[in-house]
Amino acid sequence: MTAEQDPPHFRPDTLAVRAGMSRTPFDEMAEPIFLTQGYIYPTAAEAEAAFAGEIDRYQYSRYGNPTVTVFQDRLAAIEGAEQCFATATGMAAVFVSMASILSQGSRLVAGRALFGSSITVFNEYFAKWGIVVDYVDAHVNSDWERALATPADAIYVESPSNPMQDVIDIPFVSALAKQAGALFIVDNVFATPIGQKPLELGADAVVYSATKHIDGQGRVLGGAVLGGAEYIEKVRTMVRTMGATISPFNAWILAKSLETLPVRVKAQSASALELAHWLDIHPKVAVTRYPLLASHPQYALAARQMTLGGTLVTIDIALPPGTDPHGAVAKAAAFRFMDALEVFDISNNLGDAKSIVTHPATTTHRRLGADGRAAVGMCEATVRLSVGLEDIEDLREDLARGLAAI
Ligand SMILES: *Cc1c(COP(=O)(O)O)cnc(C)c1O
């Protein structure tokens, strides 16, 4: 198999289609899938040399696989990262991005508004293993100044956050991270590799659930960690030992998905922005949260560090005066809206070609509890919309239908 050169001057949309391409002597058009558990050695001496680390070659698919390499190299090229390591799921990437560098007594500082399973990993496992976890309101810069006045080993944030769309000042946190001696990791799932480049903004590492926009067609689970060579080597060593390796088939789906990621995300983001403008002035919507909406509290920051606002729009349904936003009436209003939709599917996925609607309080953010949800500004009337590739007029009519049903 011959790997082709990826001239560094190519732009991300070209790299998305072509980077990491390698062909076998059959000169196939598409990337082949190597569905193989392992590899054979022509001689006993070559097996010995491979195991001694004297030669670099594929040994076993838990360690590496040519199809997985294509996905990793392509994503690294789009992101502008030195290296990428793919994992079985996004959660495996989240876990290993920190578990590979933290140990008993380490200190992790994390944004408070995170994907639910990430919080469970921190509170139920990292805490048990003697890792100190401190949370901050990640969109409040003074909170970071206070938290990072003492040394830390890792910093972990989502920007924009799920589902409240808080935008974190990545260059600002990056400068404090360096002073505190911490590795700064950004979960870039919401923004996507097309809409925001955390490494260029000063982060040390980026984490993805490839299950979301990267597949974008609801087929497979996958994840990735990107960063410098020395750090990714630690990630690689841990994954190949603990076994959260991605399957070659899933890596193939994801490598092919990267080819259309830029066009999908740009089209979905354009529709999301237009729908956000429309929802923002709709009388049955109390609040519309979208990073590139002028009414977003951190609009200027979002416009500085994001090239696209993303595919997600978060709204609070308007409630009659005096209604408890955390009560049953608020929940019923959100459910009536969701159940009346005909195009948007009710699911907890996001970033798909199919538009999706989610009620975070009863699904993805259920385990936060009412107090935890209130702390990040979420209530029973909060609904998250993942805008897909359907005709925008069908989506607008669908949302109008839902709002009319309240
Ligand atoms: C979905 C998601 C994850 C976890 O990814 P899986 O592929 O489901 O394991 C992590 N972070 C964010 C922001 C997500 O949306």
DSSP 91-116: HHHHHHHHHTT--TT-EEEEESS--H
Q: Let me know if residue 41 belongs to a domain.
A: yes
CA distance 322 to 335: 19
Q: Let me know if residue 2 belongs to a domain.
A: no
Pick from 381, 388, 386: nearest CA to 403: 381
Q: How far is the CA of 106 from the centre of ligand 1 (A)?
A: 24
Q: What are the Cα distances from residue 32, in Å, to 65, 249, 261? A: 12, 10, 20
Task: Tell me the average pLDDT across 86-97.
Answer: 98
CA distance 159 to 202: 13
Q: From the CA of 223, give the closest atom in ligand 1.
A: 7
* 275 and 169 belong to one structural domain: no
Pick from 71, 349, 94: nearest CA to 207: 94
* 233 and 274 belong to one structural domain: no
Count of CB atoms situated within 10 Å of the CB of 64: 18
Question: 19 pLDDT band (50/70/90 cuts)?
Answer: very high
Q: From the CA of 162, give the closest atom in ligand 1.
A: 13
Count of CB atoms situated within 10 Å of the CB of 56: 8
Read off the tokens for 254: 């994801």
Q: If you take atom 2 of ligand 1, which residue's CA is the nearest one?
A: 209
Q: Let me know if residue 50 belongs to a domain.
A: yes
Last residue of a domain, one of 258, 288, 322: 258
* 98 and 186 belong to one structural domain: yes
* 247 and 318 belong to one structural domain: no
Q: If you take atom 12 of ligand 1, which residue's CA is the nearest one?
A: 115
What type of residue is 381? A
* 242 and 270 belong to one structural domain: no
Q: How far is the CA of 90 from the centre of ligand 1 (A)?
A: 5
Domain count, the chain: 2
Question: 22 pLDDT band (50/70/90 cuts)?
Answer: confident
Q: How far is the CA of 223 from the centre of ligand 1 (A)?
A: 8
Q: How far is the CA of 391 from the centre of ligand 1 (A)?
A: 27
Give the residue, out of 87, 89, 91, 365, with the most ligand 1 atoms within 8 A of its beta carbon, to mutate for a pocket test. Answer: 91
CA distance 333 to 42: 67
pLDDT at 4 over 80: no
* 200 and 71 belong to one structural domain: yes
What is the CB < 6 Å shell around ligand 1?
89-91, 94, 115, 158, 162, 187, 189, 209, 211-212, 221, 223
Q: Let me know if residue 275 belongs to a domain.
A: yes
Is 132 in a helix, a strand, or coil? Answer: strand
Q: Which pLDDT score is estimated for 391? A: 98
Count of CB atoms situated within 10 Å of the CB of 92: 24
Of residues 6 and 28, more confidently modeled: 28
* 315 and 223 belong to one structural domain: no
**8 A C-beta contact, residue 314 and residue 165:** yes
What stretch of H or E contains 293? none
DSSP 159-203: SSPTTT-----HHHHHHHHHHHT-EEEEE-TTTHHHH--TTTTT-
CATH number at residue 275: 3.90.1150.10
pLDDT at 191 over 90: yes
Q: Let me know if residue 195 belongs to a domain.
A: yes
* 86 and 211 belong to one structural domain: yes
Read off the tokens for 400: 């109008």
Q: What is the pLDDT of residues 219-245, one digit of tens each?
A: 999 999 999 999 999 999 999 999 999
CA distance 170 to 200: 10
Cβ within 8 Å of residue 277, ≥6 positions away: 293
Q: Strands 154-158 and 107-111: what pairing? A: parallel
Arithmetic mean of pLDDT over the chain:
95
Q: How far is the CA of 209 from the centre of ligand 1 (A)?
A: 5
Q: Let me know if residue 1 belongs to a domain.
A: no
Question: 8 pLDDT band (50/70/90 cuts)?
Answer: low
- Burial pattern 237-276, b for ≥16 Cβ within 10 A else e, equals ebbbeeebbbbbebbbbbbbbbbebbebbbbbbebbbebb
Question: 393 pLDDT band (50/70/90 cuts)?
Answer: very high
* 234 and 102 belong to one structural domain: yes
Q: From the CA of 189, give the closest atom in ligand 1.
A: 13
Q: What are the Cα distances from residue 93, in Å, to 45, 97, 238, 343, 363? A: 35, 6, 11, 32, 22
Q: If you take atom 8 of ligand 1, which residue's CA is the nearest one?
A: 90
Is 144 in a helix, a strand, or coil? Answer: helix
Q: From the CA of 350, give the closest atom in ligand 1.
A: 15
Q: How far is the CA of 381 from the centre of ligand 1 (A)?
A: 23
Task: Tell me the average pLDDT across 122-149.
Answer: 95
Domain coverage including residue 224:
7-258
Dihedral-angle region of residue 20 (phi above 0 means left; psi in -120 to 50 means alpha; beta otherwise): left
pLDDT at 1 over 50: no
Q: From the CA of 222, give the closest atom in ligand 1.
A: 7
Last residue of a domain, one of 207, 236, 258: 258
pTM over 0.85: yes
* 298 and 235 belong to one structural domain: no
Q: What is the pLDDT of residues 241-291, one digit of tens each?
A: 999 999 999 999 999 999 999 999 999 999 999 999 999 999 999 999 999
Q: Which pLDDT score is estimated for 284? A: 98
CATH number at residue 31: 3.40.640.10
Q: How far is the CA of 317 from the centre of ligand 1 (A)?
A: 25
Give CA 34 to chain center in angstroms: 26
Q: Let me know if residue 166 belongs to a domain.
A: yes
Pick from 331, 308, 320: nearest CA to 378: 331
Q: What are the Cα distances from residue 87, in Å, to 17, 19, 61, 323, 383? A: 21, 19, 12, 45, 30
CA distance 377 to 387: 22
Q: From the CA of 158, give the closest atom in ligand 1.
A: 13
Q: Which pLDDT score is estimated for 231? A: 98
Beta bridge partners of 108: 133, 154
Q: How far is the CA of 43 from the centre of ligand 1 (A)?
A: 43
Q: Let me know if residue 283 belongs to a domain.
A: yes
Q: From the CA of 91, give the closest atom in ligand 1.
A: 9
* 21 and 112 belong to one structural domain: yes
What type of residue is 18? R
Last residue of a domain, one of 233, 258, 283: 258
* 59 and 206 belong to one structural domain: yes
Lowest mean pLDDT across 131-140, 361-370, 388-397: 361-370
